[in-house]
Amino acid sequence: MHNAAFAAVGIAATYTARDVAPAALAAAAADLRRDGVLGANVSVPHKQAITKLVDRMTPEATALGAVNTVVNEGGQLVGSNTDGAGFVSGLLELAPEFRSGGFRTLVLGAGGAARAVVWALVALGGDVVIVNRDESRAADLLAGLVAAGLPSGKAKVGALDDVEPDLVVNSTSVGMEGGKAPADLPLLTRAHLERFAPSVVVSDLVYRPAVTPLLAAAAALGLRHQNGVAMLVGQGALAFQAWTNVTAPVGVMRSAVEEALAADLHRA
């Protein structure tokens, strides 16, 4: 999507993927300081480790303790985290009413993606209940966010029956290709979706496959829903803008992602 975006706006740059072993991360970070390098994205398992190798971080990256985007500013590396804001940008395209805040969210999972999503949703004005099979992990996630400045009382660890949500977000790998693939939905069942209001919005951060068990159930019930492409493109657009100071061609980027996913499916 980034190469498509560079071409669309006429920037002579190339985005390439590098497989970096943990032991080689420091050398890879040093390489980003070179003239002509705009920056990089950072993926698992390096999002925490890279925080020690940049010169400064944005407030959100500091709060989350993770960096997914690095910008080279004249040899100084700035670490940011566009995951949460990218999720919100995609969500608001589907459900603009959340822009005014006051909504209730059920977040499934307690990993890095959940951390970014909870932070961003509270910043948007929502209240969040975090549900995870291992409640201690969810408690650790919440404690870390509160210590980083999350307003007290805006999020809590709970159970599926603790909230009548306006929004459900699956941040687990359940349903992902190569991940856990139980016959049932992640943590909740179709009966839960049936009990929720017909206006509830369902978001699954998984994008391979495009239709997960959760999204299939949401579609069957006529609920508004979206997969992880929205977050992938949203965070990518923000990274693009950070590197170039140019407004990202979001439509071009989304088309490139969808074409690539369709090609992967065809090859499979």
Asked if residue 27 and residue 131 are part of one domain, the reply reads no
Asked if residue 223 and residue 201 are part of one domain, the reply reads yes
Tens-of-pLDDT digits for all 268 residues of the chain?
Answer: 999 999 999 999 999 999 999 999 999 999 999 999 999 999 999 999 999 999 999 999 999 999 999 999 999 999 999 999 999 999 999 999 999 999 999 999 999 999 999 999 999 999 999 999 899 999 999 999 999 999 989 999 999 888 899 999 999 887 676 555 444 455 677 888 999 999 999 999 999 989 988 999 999 999 999 999 999 999 999 999 999 999 999 999 999 999 999 887 666 5
**Owner of token pair 């003239």:** 35
- The helix or strand, by DSSP H or E, that contains position 70, with its residue range, turns out to be strand 69-73
**In a 3-state reduction of DSSP, which class is residue 57?**
strand
Asked if residue 44 and residue 113 are part of one domain, the reply reads no
For the chain, how many structural domains are there in total? 2
Q: Are strands 224-226 and 104-108 parallel, antiparallel or unpaired?
A: unpaired
How many CA within 13 A on the CB side of residue 157? 18
User: CATH code at 39?
Assistant: 3.40.50.10860
Asked if residue 263 and residue 210 are part of one domain, the reply reads no
Asked if residue 252 and residue 167 are part of one domain, the reply reads no
SS3 breakdown of the chain: % helix, strand, coil, rounded to 5?
A: 45, 15, 40
Asked if residue 74 and residue 35 are part of one domain, the reply reads yes
pTM, entire model: 0.93
Distance of CA 94 to the CA centre of its chain: 16
Asked if residue 170 and residue 156 are part of one domain, the reply reads yes
8-state DSSP, 180: -
Asked if residue 139 and residue 18 are part of one domain, the reply reads no
- How far apart, in whole angstroms, are the C-alpha atoms of residue 104 and residue 155? 10
Contact (CB, 8 A) for 120 and 88: yes
Asked if residue 88 and residue 197 are part of one domain, the reply reads yes
- How far apart, in whole angstroms, are the C-alpha atoms of residue 50 and residue 30? 11
Asked if residue 95 and residue 219 are part of one domain, the reply reads yes
**In a 3-state reduction of DSSP, which class is residue 255?**
helix
Asked if residue 154 and residue 26 are part of one domain, the reply reads no
Which domain, by its residues, includes 67?
2-81+230-267
Asked if residue 101 and residue 54 are part of one domain, the reply reads no
Residues with catalytic function = 47
